[in-house]
Structures are given as structure tokens and as C-alpha cells.
Amino acid sequence: MKETPLATDEQDRALVERYLENHGAAAGALVDRYQQRLFNVALRMLGNVQDAEDVTQAVFLNAFHRLRTYDPRYKFFSWIYRMTVNESLNMLKRRKPTVPLEDDLDILAPGAASDRAAEAEDRVGRALMGLKPDDRAVVVLRHFVSFSYQEIAEVLEIPVQTVKSRLFTARERLRLAIREGVR
Amino acid sequence: MLSRDQIDLIQQEIDGANTPEGSAALRSLMEQNPEAGAMAAELRRVAALFGQVAEREPPARLKRAILDALPQPARASPGALLRWAAQGLRFVTKSMEEPIMTKKALLIGSAAAAVVIVVAGILTGFPPGSRDAGTIGGVQPAARYHGKVMTEADVTLKNPEIQALFQNDQILRLVRSDAFRQVMASDAFRQLQASDAFRQLLASDAFRQLMASDAFRQLQDNDLFRQLQASEAFRQLQANAAFRQLQAQDAFRQMQSSAAMRQLQDNDLFRQLQANDAFRQVLASDAFRQVMENDLYRQVMDNELFRQVMENDLYRQLLANAAFRQLQESDASRQILASDAFRQLQAAEAFRALSQSQALSQAFMREAMRAQM
């Protein structure tokens, strides 16, 4: 995900305008532009492919439904990432708290590209699930979307200092968790 | 022991967020304090681990599911509950099409009769069958109705109802669709069409009464849905606080757009729907129950003609017909009926009530027509 360049806001705005002018292809273009990134954010937040798919779809449908009321003063990508994080947090709240992590975690892809990547995905996924959801959101946006502190603050609508505080705390926990996992 | 500021300096360096002065200060710190160097090294390894995680491709069906679920610009918004209901009908339609395909030959008379039966089935709200009386029957009974037909000689093309049907663009497009032709051309349908019970059903007073009903006439009108929306009962239902509460629920919205729901429409069984917490939450929600228990809603659901058909002996004979059973016993039908999720649906009082709603059935029909286009 971090290799994917951030979509420019101008391009997003142009597509939004075209969609609002009933150009159906614009919807497809927006989905193409964001579905993989949003899906991966949801996946890292939820640790479950099916849930991530549900969240991604819900986010797009909500977004298209609300596009006419979308305030263009805000960046489109901030808006849609915010919805993805919030939708993921909502889904986490709805989950039964009794489900063991091991049974719920679905990060590891069948036939993952390589053993190393699969191992990394497994370790990172499990460590992420050990974080508080709010902290996890910051880590996901930083490390999987490569957002700056400021961009994360805009997406989550929290102060930059809070972003740093959450990120640093979470990363320290990840450091310890991963270190424990190595032993 | 590192101070908070020193740790932040290390963390910001990992993110490339330090100023040149900050980076220089950190280098100096690490030279003087091995603990700082060790922490920086570990945090870099953590960051590097993230870098090793490959980005996952979303399921290939996701884009299509999103775009399919988007309202068309010219399409009137039927409201959340109706969209959901219509989605259910699309699944029903698909589940019926699958087990029934073979030939291309299509007698216009058979098509006419088919339309009558399909329309009647949908208008009457997918009645429960003999084996599952009192249950939702949203899938199984609808399949029965699609298994319609009669011989050409039996088709009363002079019948004004059928003539009217063929003057309706939507009906015509449905009839001309490949999927519909396949249904009509199946052996199972031919057998059903030839059965005495079926012909007798079509000739029954109850059925004729149904065909002559206001609801049926409304179906022939392209503005049906607008009429439904404009109806006093429907407006009252929409204004009902419980109904609005249901529509506003996160769980309901999520269920509408869930991938599991999309797969349901694609006839990929109910297993994923069963695992969808949001769906269960909606069915179990107080808001949903309030809607179902609402007097106005019950008023919308009331359908005397439906009861007459259900009480008709000939209808029961139809259900016992071998050809009809063949349809029911198709792989697709068996998979659906055997799924736990289907049993859950059947057990849901709210869903049963929904399936018998006259007004919603009309909306189903309109949506079904769109789905076929």
C-alpha cells in the first residue's frame, strides 16, 4: 500500500464532479482508485477478509450516497479514509468480545507470496490486533498508507500531538510484542 | 532511562519527521547512550516489518458489488427497507433461473402464462408451501411460482389481463430476457405446464380474482412504484418512527451493503450471510420488531386474495405435483434450503411478515423487472 502514490485531491474532485453529473463511469473510477487501499486499511483494522470486504463496500456506498453533501473544502481521501476507519471501529464494537484472536485472525493469505512475507503478515497482524483500535488506526494509516502525522490528524480529526502520542505508544507496544514473538 | 522527549525523537526519526537539527541531536544521543541506539534499532525493525507486508488485493467481486448496489441516477429511491427486500427478490429470481435451463424454444403463449404466474406469485408475497406452512417461504415458494406454464391452447391470449401484460414494456423485456426463456424452456416447466392441477389453478375463481385485482392492474403501470410511495399507508409507514429508526441503524446499513448480501444475490448460498453479525442484529433489533408489529405495516401487508389462493385445493395439488417437486429438488434449491441461514430466515417472524407484504411485493416486482433488464 505504501508504494501506491496518494491520489491527488484534484483528480478526486474531478471524479466526484463527474459522478454528480451522472457520469456513471466516474463511480467505477473512484472505486478503482480507492478500493484496494480502503480494503487494506479495513483488513489491517479488522484482521478478517470478509469483514474488510463488508466495510469497504459499506464505505463506498455511504460515500456515493453522501457525495452531494460532501464539503469540497475537505480532501476527498481524508473523508473516505475517515469513513473506512470509523466503519471499521463500528464493526469492531459490534463483534462479540469472546472470539479468540487466533480464531478470528484472517490476515494470512492463502498461498501468500513468500514465506517471509507471510510470516511478516502474520506477525504484524497479530501484533496489530493486540493494540487498542484507536491506536491501531493510527499505526495502520502511518505504516500501510504512509500518511504523515498531519494527514492522520485530518483523517481521524484529532490533534497532531494526539496522533504522535498514540503512534509512539502503539509502536512501542508493537516493538515489545514482536520482540516477545521472536523469543 | 530515556526521557519522553528522547523517545519521541527516536520515534520521529523512524517516521522521517525530525528536522535536520532533531536528527543531529538524535545521532548525538545514540553515540552517548547505547539504550537510545538499541531502541532506535528495534523500532526500525518494527517499521521494516510493516514494509514486508504485501498489500492484499480486494476480492474481484467487490467492485461489481459496489457498483451494482449504487442507485441509478434516474431510479426512484425505494427506501432502505425496500432496497433490501428487492435484493432478496433478485436472489429469489436467480435461484429459480439456475435450475431451469435447457432449450431456447419459447412459445409466446407459455411466456404469457409464465408472466401471469410470476406476477401472481410475486404479488401474493411468495406464499408458504405445504411443507413449510407458516414459514417465510421467500425462496422456495417463489420458485414454485416460476415453475409455471400451460399449453399454448390453454393460454388465453384474448384474455385482457394478458394482453395488458404484453403492452407493458417491462414485462416484455422480462419475457424476452435469456434467463426467462431458459426458465420457460426447461423440462420441469413443461411437465408442470402439462399438469391438470396447474391448469385448474389458472382456471380457478380465486386466481382469476387475483388477476383482476387492483394490485395486478397497478403492476401493469410503469408508475407503480410511485403510486406505492404515494399511498397513504406507505407514507405513514415511512413516517413511522420505528421505521426511520431501523433505516438509520448502522447494522441495517451495513447489512444492505454487505458482501455477504451481494453473494446471496449471486446464489452463493447463505453461509456468509449467516456469519454476518449485522444481518442478525437487524433481525433481532427492537426497531425491526417495532416495524413488523406496527399496525400500519400490517395494514399494508394485508392481502385477502393471497389467502384465497392459499386456501384453494388446486393450489395445494400444484404443490404436490411431481414436476414442481423436481424444481424444488434441484441442486440450487437444495443448497439454499439446507443452509442454516435459510432456516434462520425462515424462523424470523419479522422476515416472514415482510415476505407477505402486499405493498412490498409490488415493490419487489418492480425491482425484479429492473434486475432482469
Residue B283: list chain A partners with CB under 8 A.
none
Domain ranges of chain A: 9-182
Q: What is the pLDDT of residues B357-370, one digit of tens each?
A: 444 444 444 444 44
Give chain A's length.
Answer: 183
Q: Which residue has the cell 426467462?
A: B180
Check: CB of residue A83 under 8 Å from CB of residue A62: yes
What is chain A's alpha carbon radius of gyration, rounded to the nearest angstrom?
Answer: 17
Among the ranges given (B124-138, B201-215, B272-286), the one the predictor scored with the smallest mean pLDDT: B124-138
A12, A30, A84, B73, B268 from A15: Cα distances, Å: 5, 7, 19, 16, 33
Give the pLDDT confidence score for residue B75 in this predicted structure: 33
Question: pLDDT tier at A33 (50, 70, 90 boundaries)?
Answer: very high
C-alpha cell at B166: 404484453
Q: What is the pLDDT of residues B213-255, one digit of tens each?
A: 554 454 444 344 444 545 555 565 556 565 565 556 565 565 5
Question: pLDDT tier at A180 (50, 70, 90 boundaries)?
Answer: confident
User: Nearest residue of B to residue A90 by CA position?
Assistant: B250
Q: What is the pLDDT of residues A157-178, one digit of tens each?
A: 999 999 999 999 999 998 888 7
Is B49 near chain A, with CB under 8 Å? yes
Residue B62: list chain A partners with CB under 8 A.
35, 39, 53, 56-57
Query: Alpha-carbon distance A51 to A43, whole Å?
Result: 8
Comparing CA positions, the residue from B282, B304, B302, B298 lying closest to residue B237 is: B298
Helix (H) or strand (E) holding B3: none
The DSSP-derived string for B154-173 is: G--TT-HHHHHHHT-HHHHH
Is B65 near chain A, with CB under 8 Å? yes
- The answer to whether the CB atoms of B262 and A57 lie below 8 A apart is yes
- The answer to whether the CB atoms of B254 and A62 lie below 8 A apart is no
pLDDT for residue B120 is more than 50: no
Residue B260: list chain A partners with CB under 8 A.
50, 54
Check: CB of residue A47 under 8 Å from CB of residue A105: yes
Minimal CA separation from B11 to chain A, in Å:
6
Residue B278: list chain A partners with CB under 8 A.
54, 94
ipTM rounded to 2 decimals: 0.84
What is chain B's alpha carbon radius of gyration, rounded to the nearest angstrom?
Answer: 28
Give the pLDDT confidence score for residue A153 in this predicted structure: 95
The DSSP output letter for B177 is: S
Check: CB of residue A178 under 8 Å from CB of residue B49: yes
Assess if CATH 3.10.690.10 describes domain A9-182: no
- The answer to whether the CB atoms of B58 and A167 lie below 8 A apart is no
Domain ranges of chain B: 4-52, 81-372
Question: pLDDT tier at A32 (50, 70, 90 boundaries)?
Answer: very high
Q: Which residue has the cell 504512509?
A: A146
